[in-house]
Amino acid sequence: MDVLEVASEIDLPDRAVWLLGDVHGNTRWIQRAFPAMKRSDPDVRTVLQLGDWWQDTRPVDHWAKIAGIDRVLVTLGNHEPYGTLAPFLSENPGLAVRISRAVWILPRPFRFRVGGRSFLSLGGATSADIEWRTEDVDWWPDEAITDAEVRDAISFGPVDVLLTHESPDATPVLEVRRVIEERSGASERGVAESTRSSRLMVDRLVEAIRPALHVHGHLHVSGVGVTSTRRVVSLGRDLDPGSIARLDLASLKESFLQADDVWHKRR
Ligand SMILES: [Mn+2]
């Protein structure tokens, strides 16, 4: 993987960004999603991607250019090629790394600013499907959020927006709660416990940094929930219009694309 540029600070003037859920290396989805973003709001130049990216950069650069998107900031997920990523992440500790014209990989954790808002990105999650995966082929222990990463993230202090791949365990998003309950019934006990302890790490982070908005992927369902102090947005996965939302930075309100926006049907 080529390192084209590194940055210790990112501070963008953008007034809105796109939020994009799990991609899973689905180029067909990039080809669909980026033009849909342009049709919906051609002025938005930045995509914040919420993990399970594992995507070839060449088609991303191609479609980003066509869609007027300058950058994709990737919060890593669990399904990522950590075998390839680990060396250059450890060689560039704490730095955002640009690996193509548009694609930036964010370290765990990373703090940045957009439109006057403070963001904290913390990638990683524990896979619920490890029983079908092979270590160092399509699964790496590096996927898991570590105590040190959470401590590091907390040391940044409060932020406006938290970006994680993993969901909180104490989630107000009903769609996510339903998935967690189904999964903990379906998966092996040890797996259910380790996925829960991964979510509890996110709970700990949320309690410490008190974001007004928390956006995550991973559960492959879209939904929004609110608590007395924060708004939680779960994004869907590739081919789901519920994996794309425009975030207005003045109001911190998201608006999801609709099926017609994505599949470009006549209304
Ligand atoms: Mn996923």
pLDDT of residue 266: 55
Question: How many Å lie between the centroid of ligand 1 and the Cα of residue 100?
Answer: 22
Question: How many Å lie between the centroid of ligand 1 and the Cα of residue 43?
Answer: 28
Judge whether residue 190 has pLDDT over 90.
no
Q: Which two tokens stand for residue 13?
A: 């003037």
166 closest CA partner among 193, 205, 134, 139: 205
Which residues crowd ion ligand 1, with CB under 5 Å?
A: 22, 52
Residue 181: CB atoms within 10 Å: 10
CATH superfamily of 5-261: Metallo-dependent phosphatases (3.60.21.10)
pLDDT of residue 144: 93
Judge whether residue 114 has pLDDT over 90.
yes
pTM across the whole model = 0.96
Domain boundaries, given as residue ranges, for the chain? 5-261
Question: How many Å lie between the centroid of ligand 1 and the Cα of residue 266?
Answer: 30
Q: Average the pLDDT over 163-187 and give the result.
A: 93
- Beta strand 253-256 with 244-248 is antiparallel
Judge whether residue 267 has pLDDT over 70.
no
Q: If you write DSSP's letter for every residue of 12-29 in order, what string do you get?
A: E--SEEEEE-B-TT-HHH
